[in-house]
């Protein structure tokens, strides 16, 4: 993988972990995900005006992705209602890169090679180790949070493949990304109002610094990822993007006072090894 693309995706991973950490600071998770998504749509409006329209072939993928993102945000919010960032986040991100790489190989013929597959497998193994052994000491198994985290993983796989293909058909990654966030923001506004009613506007107004900070991190993270998927294999970008669990583990320890345990350290080293193998691809 090209060095610039590699570093850019790592920056995107840090941004992604950052906005997920914000979801656990002050707001109730359903309200937090809704206001961040709506704020992301607002942030993207000026970029829509600058980037223009994507090619017609990309529109079915944009609509499909906006719908999938509703499921993603809804599942993620439910997972965070009962689980730690340092536990839920690795489960949500862990299985997605391996599934994405396999489906990208089968559906669009992307070939990753020996280093690529080894890197993807190590990343998935390290992330899942974080999920299984990375919780608080004595923490009871929370089937509900784990179930929603796994559902989140499936939505990640779905929107990654849809957006990777859609952005390539759009003619420009910038236009695809801008319209995706506007459509997703509008869809999440409808979902948020259905779940929260007028409280959605109240929460957005009361917590606008967190909402727009999360929106900035979220849009930056996925804009970089979408661009990267137009110049590098989707499976590799999806896998490298999940190094965000390293940043999430760091944020969960420093900001949220979640435990930094030996299994988390070991899993983090495995994830790092997988990332280095992807760099060699």
Q: Which tens digit of pLDDT belongs to each residue from 170-223? A: 999 999 999 999 999 999 999 989 988 999 899 888 888 888 888 888 888 889
Confidence label for 79 from pLDDT (cuts 50, 70 and 90): confident
Cα-to-chain-centroid distance, residue 138? 28
Residue 138 region by backbone torsions, left for phi larger than 0, else alpha for psi between -120 and 50, else beta: left
What pLDDT is stored for residue 45 in this prediction?
Answer: 94
Q: Which residue has the higher pLDDT, 54 or 100?
A: 54
What pLDDT is stored for residue 44 in this prediction?
Answer: 94
DSSP 120: H
Residue pair 32/22 in contact by the 8 Å Cβ criterion: yes
Which tokens hold the place of 238? 């999806």
Q: Which residue has the higher pLDDT, 223 or 272?
A: 223
* Average of per-residue pLDDT across 8-30: 72
- Residue 90 CB neighbours (<10 A): 31
Which tokens hold the place of 138? 């004595």
What pLDDT is stored for residue 145 in this prediction?
Answer: 76
Confidence label for 33 from pLDDT (cuts 50, 70 and 90): confident
What's the pLDDT tens digit per position in 5-14? 878 887 887 8
Crossing angle (nearest 10°) for helices 234-241 and 96-108: 170
Which tokens hold the place of 175? 């236009």
What pLDDT is stored for residue 280 in this prediction?
Answer: 59
What's the pLDDT tens digit per position in 127-167? 677 666 555 555 555 677 778 888 888 898 899 899 999 99
What pLDDT is stored for residue 28 in this prediction?
Answer: 75
* Average of per-residue pLDDT across 105-133: 72
Token pair 């900035």 in the structure block, residue:
216
- Residue 31 CB neighbours (<10 A): 23
Confidence label for 252 from pLDDT (cuts 50, 70 and 90): low
Distance in angstroms (rounded) separating the CA atoms of residues 203 and 232? 39
- Tally the C-alpha atoms within 13 A of residue 83's C-alpha that lie toward its C-beta: 29
What pLDDT is stored for residue 141 in this prediction?
Answer: 54
3-state secondary structure of 70: helix
What pLDDT is stored for residue 169 in this prediction?
Answer: 95
Q: Which residue has the higher pLDDT, 19 or 239?
A: 239
Q: Which residue has the higher pLDDT, 48 or 9?
A: 48
- Residue 214 CB neighbours (<10 A): 27
Q: Which residue has the higher pLDDT, 186 or 89?
A: 186
Least confident of 128-132, 174-178, 224-228, 256-260: 256-260
> Considering the chain, what is the average pLDDT of its residues?
80
What pLDDT is stored for residue 23 in this prediction?
Answer: 60
244, 58, 74, 7: which is closest to 164 by C-alpha?
A: 58
Across 70-79, 171-180, 215-224, 261-270, the highest mean pLDDT is recorded for 171-180
What pLDDT is stored for residue 227 in this prediction?
Answer: 93
pLDDT > 80? residue 263: no
């Amino acid at each position: 993988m090209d060095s610039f693309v590699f570093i850019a995706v790592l920056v995107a991973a840090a941004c992604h972990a950052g906005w997920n950490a914000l979801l656990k600071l002050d707001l109730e998770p359903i309200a937090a995900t809704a206001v961040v998504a709506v704020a992301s749509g607002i942030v993207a409006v000026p970029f829509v005006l600058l980037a223009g329209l994507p090619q017609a072939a990309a529109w079915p993928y944009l609509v499909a992705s906006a719908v999938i993102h509703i499921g993603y945000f809804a599942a993620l919010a439910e997972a965070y209602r009962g689980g730690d960032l340092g536990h839920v986040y690795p489960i949500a991100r862990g299985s997605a890169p391996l599934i994405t790489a396999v489906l990208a190989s089968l559906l669009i013929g992307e070939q990753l090679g020996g280093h690529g597959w080894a890197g993807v497998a190590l990343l998935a193994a390290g992330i899942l180790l974080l999920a299984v052994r990375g919780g608080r000491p004595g923490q009871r198994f929370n089937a509900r949070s784990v179930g929603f985290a796994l559902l989140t993983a499936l939505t990640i796989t779905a929107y990654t493949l849809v957006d990777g293909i859609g952005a390539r058909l759009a003619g420009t990654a910038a236009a695809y990304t801008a319209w995706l966030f506007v459509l997703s923001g509008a869809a999440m506004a409808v979902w948020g109002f259905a779940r929260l009613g007028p409280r959605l506007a109240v929460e957005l107004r009361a917590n606008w610094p967190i909402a727009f900070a999360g929106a900035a991190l979220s849009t930056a993270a996925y804009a970089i990822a979408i661009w990267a998927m137009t110049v590098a294999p989707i499976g590799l970008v999806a896998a490298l993007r999940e190094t965000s669990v390293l940043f999430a583990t760091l944020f969960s320890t420093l900001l949220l006072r979640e435990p930094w345990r030996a299994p988390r350290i070991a899993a983090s080293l495995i994830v790092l090894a997988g990332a280095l193998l992807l760099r060699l691809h």
